[in-house]
Structure 1
């Protein structure tokens, strides 16, 4: 096979030619790559050749992808793999590197010496050393070992996976809890920087991270001034709270937890979008299935107005999260009252319907449905009638008709149908819908 290598001619003069406005001549030379330098799977030049138990050699990334798909045979020989161990083929890699050097004049770049992936034995050994250092209260040793874990994780996703499988997250959670009340925060910051990679952390790890001591420490970081630590803390919380409702219940009881999350959201996505999204996810977990007391507290802190301001120009993932939280807050009376008071509420919900995503559509319909009907479902409340008229004037009737046609879940479909019935009671009294609009392409909707 032939691999085409592109070479720049007169490279030393490239900057001068670019400055003068001249086009840089490009030449293409075809160089034959020795077949035994190619990975049998990808047919590309191998960068990190490894040999399996069958004696066949592959590029590490290619054979990793093959095994991760559930295959347990050798791709070439079709023999069952007795072991999934991969032995680095240093001799072949050296030959490939020498070949690259010999052909560098043709534009071939030398492949870098790959980093050897971490092994389960190495991870287990570090696990034991961290636990021992934690029990001794040796912060310096723990800091050294956590820095090593961080370096391993930066090397490759494979290393992260190996560490998760060998319970590094559990020992880091235990160490975090042990030193949580210590004034020296360097170690705690370092642990928070790697913990988001380590989920799931197992039952033991959850019990350590979910203790009152650990949760208070996480809130302390959320309230701090260090942006990186605050982001890492909320990323850990997002993953932790998603594991079990009991963790949500415990976190809600921590003093300052609700205020800390609202503070991050208030600072806005322009400062740290990742932290804002994670905070919204945490709030979503906290208001799902809880009493109105928690929701009311978020409303009192001005979260409804913050969310509506965020919806004005938020990108897709942030918009969906903000809508999800707003939908949850509208379950309580205080949340609906704040939504009624804000002039942005209905125009924003109606304007962006059908423009963002199917999930956003469902959240928008649910919010409008909650605002346009009272607890008895008769839609006779003064505020609900006012908001219903605003929805009609904004074009909600037409958009809901279209939504029925393009499809939605059964639960949302029922809400759309109910809304259309409510709108139908008032639409004849208002000049909200252009009677000349052609709805022939829409299927007939039965009320």
Structure 2
């Protein structure tokens, strides 16, 4: 997950970006920093057996040497009273020690990091080699210290000789257990390449070795590797491509283990205990983690000049639409600049990682998985084989499993279908869609939720949409919108119809289902924020078929949309409502329904004048043009008498988007033509005092 522009990128696992102290740093200050660093490394040795499941002996040896270095440095610090001050010549040796200790800290952090254990295991040889080199540099750094510093006291001299000897001679190599587990991983990946399911016990022994014993711990490993993959793919070059293949293969291996080896989804009490203060502090309400604009969990929280926090993508869309006010307070934004809210982002990140979910891209690009998430092929045959075997197991559980097995299988299908295009293709090819459709009628609310969400993800795949239609699943999806057990299921079911309606033939077929359009209209009328938005975009897709306009009008779509428009003209739901009314008005039946709705036309004119949204203004003028086209001179005359409309249209001609400018010019000319050709005066009688009316060419 790349950080916002201007912030340092996340460090790759097992990389050692040590920072050299400034050359002009005071020796005493450098010594104090080095003491703190050595003390931190030494403290990690206490009770560290479980924290370092890989390279246990090597880690213990590194911590022991850090302890010897700490004792040596403390002797030097005590001796500085006699020496008065450290000589400037000591800076070189202390600097090299400082750099070496930084590198050891990086290595120990990665070896102890929850989620990185499989990656450390397969790179155990590399880690051991790095440790040997860094410990050797400790001995070299000691040789660079002035003799007067090393022999500042008898104890210091003895510790320096012991430390140098230990640093040179200490054998750091992977444990025998590490080597066996790494060989097992490589063997399993080879079996995946051949499409062969490995022995469950072999995979279980690998997980046991690295301390992964639950579903949530396995998910944590996947999420960590997912972040590592993105870090490597962000600006990837040829030298990182092989590592990306390995990371992706290990992720697929862990997915297979999570699907096959664990019977239930746990909550990982240890992880929950570790993140509880960050997940829900007393001073943070749960809704504080939601973006006020989309009501979804913020993935990249930023703060605007009024002090309010929003998701970066949402607030930037708001600002780019021409809105210069804070959506929550209504205050005018002094600047369009936003500041990352690192504290809140950290809370959200820890909350997600504790549940095995990686935090999406913070760059605002929306492509969290880079090339991986948007291409149908994975990196490497081992990942492909593991993915197909995992999906086959899931489909078997969907078809013949118990209630608990189906609950877990639908959850896995939901996660994997969201992960990448390749997993979607595998699920479609494995015939998962018909079984997921069968589970839409499940009385288990979680099964139904996961089945609908899985179908939503699979409906983004062309073949997935075709299979869903061939299986007769549209009616079942509509039923969920009507009687779904939870609001989330109803909202996702409405979104499924949006993807299905992308094909005009499918849109016509959906419209033939008697309950489809009335159900969406009902969701627009009574649903929650997200449900209403999903229902409106689905209706928008269905209205590309001319025969559906009359059905939408008959179902009361105009009244439902008018109600949204009257609540708040600057609300994003109101903008969507105007867009949908403009789509309805493209056909005579829709235009007539808008015209006969009391007060609706005047509200659209008011919205055109008052809306801060650029897209909202565009939709308003498109709606008015369609009304004139289908309503004739009576509508043109009505608009000509409405106060403020002419000024709004002239403003759009001057400052609007090219499309809005073209439509505003056309509407102005229709109004002028009406008054010039009739018995009316050249300017509308209700024109505001002093308003000039100019024919726009």
**Structure-1-length-normalised TM-score:** 0.67
Larger RCO, structures 1/2 (Cα 8 Å, 6+ apart):
2
Counterpart for residue 245 of structure 2: 84
* Distance verdict in 2 for CA 1:174–1:127, change over 3 Å: farther
2:397 and 2:405 in contact (8 A); partners too: yes
* Distance verdict in 2 for CA 1:385–1:71, change over 3 Å: same
Deviation, 1:222, is 1.6
* Distance verdict in 2 for CA 1:283–1:37, change over 3 Å: farther
Q: Are positions 1:311 and 2:565 aligned together?
A: yes
Q: Are positions 1:190 and 2:190 aligned together?
A: no
- Structure 2 alignment gaps of length 5 or more: 1-18, 22-32, 34-97, 131-223, 252-273, 275-346, 359-382, 676-680
Q: Are positions 1:406 and 2:655 aligned together?
A: yes
> In structure 1, how many angstroms separate the alpha carbons of the residues matched to 2:425 and 2:115?
24
1:351 and 1:394 in contact (8 A); partners too: no
Counterpart for residue 549 of structure 2: 295
Q: Are positions 1:280 and 2:540 aligned together?
A: no
Q: Are positions 1:334 and 2:589 aligned together?
A: yes
Deviation, 1:166, is 5.4
Of residues 670, 677, 686 in structure 2, which corresponds to 1:422?
A: 670
Counterpart for residue 26 of structure 1: none
In terms of mean alpha carbon deviation, does 253-262 or 187-196 score higher?
A: 187-196
Instruction: Give CA-to-partner distance per residue, 1:130-180, whole Å, 9 cap, x none.
Output: 333455587664333223445x56xxx9x7237735533564313124556
> In structure 2, how many angstroms separate the alpha carbons of the residues matched to 1:349 and 1:328?
14
Figure out how many residues of one structure are paired with residues of the other and give that number. 366
Counterpart for residue 19 of structure 1: none
* Distance verdict in 2 for CA 1:328–1:117, change over 3 Å: closer
1:29-428 to 2 correspondences below 5 Å: 34-35=102-103, 37=105, 50=119, 63-69=228-234, 71-74=236-239, 81=242, 84-86=245-247, 122-133=386-397, 136=400, 141-150=405-414, 152=415, 160-161=419-420, 164=423, 167-168=426-427, 171-178=431-438, 187-198=447-458, 200-203=460-463, 205-211=464-470, 213-224=472-483, 226=485, 227-242=487-502, 244-267=503-526, 271-288=527-544, 290-291=545-546, 293-312=547-566, 313=568, 316-353=571-608, 355-374=611-630, 379-380=632-633, 382=634, 384-389=635-640, 392-410=641-659, 412-424=660-672, 425-426=674-675, 428=682
In terms of mean alpha carbon deviation, does 138-147 or 340-349 score higher?
A: 138-147
Deviation, 1:239, is 2.9
In terms of mean alpha carbon deviation, does 331-340 or 163-172 score higher?
A: 163-172
SS in 1 for 2:513: coil
SS in 2 for 1:297: helix
* Distance verdict in 2 for CA 1:415–1:201, change over 3 Å: closer
Deviation, 1:261, is 0.9
* Distance verdict in 2 for CA 1:200–1:55, change over 3 Å: farther
* Distance verdict in 2 for CA 1:125–1:172, change over 3 Å: same
> In structure 2, how many angstroms separate the alpha carbons of the residues matched to 1:80 and 1:220?
46
Instruction: Give CA-to-partner distance per residue, 1:387-409, whole Å, 9 cap, x none.
Output: 323xx423111111111111323
Q: Which has the larger radius of gyration?
A: 2
CA RMSD in angstroms, aligned pairs only: 4.3
1:221 and 1:233 in contact (8 A); partners too: yes
Deviation, 1:299, is 1.0
* Distance verdict in 2 for CA 1:125–1:64, change over 3 Å: same
* Distance verdict in 2 for CA 1:363–1:68, change over 3 Å: farther
Greater helix proportion: 2
> In structure 1, how many angstroms separate the alpha carbons of the residues matched to 2:509 and 2:403?
28
Deviation, 1:68, is 4.0
Deviation, 1:260, is 1.0
Instruction: Give CA-to-partner distance per residue, 1:172-193, whole Å, 9 cap, x none.
Output: 3131245567888874443113
SS in 2 for 1:34: helix
1:308 and 1:345 in contact (8 A); partners too: yes
- Structure 1 alignment gaps of length 5 or more: 4-30, 40-44, 89-99, 101-108
2:406 and 2:447 in contact (8 A); partners too: yes
1:397 and 1:420 in contact (8 A); partners too: yes
> In structure 2, how many angstroms separate the alpha carbons of the residues matched to 1:48 and 1:261?
43
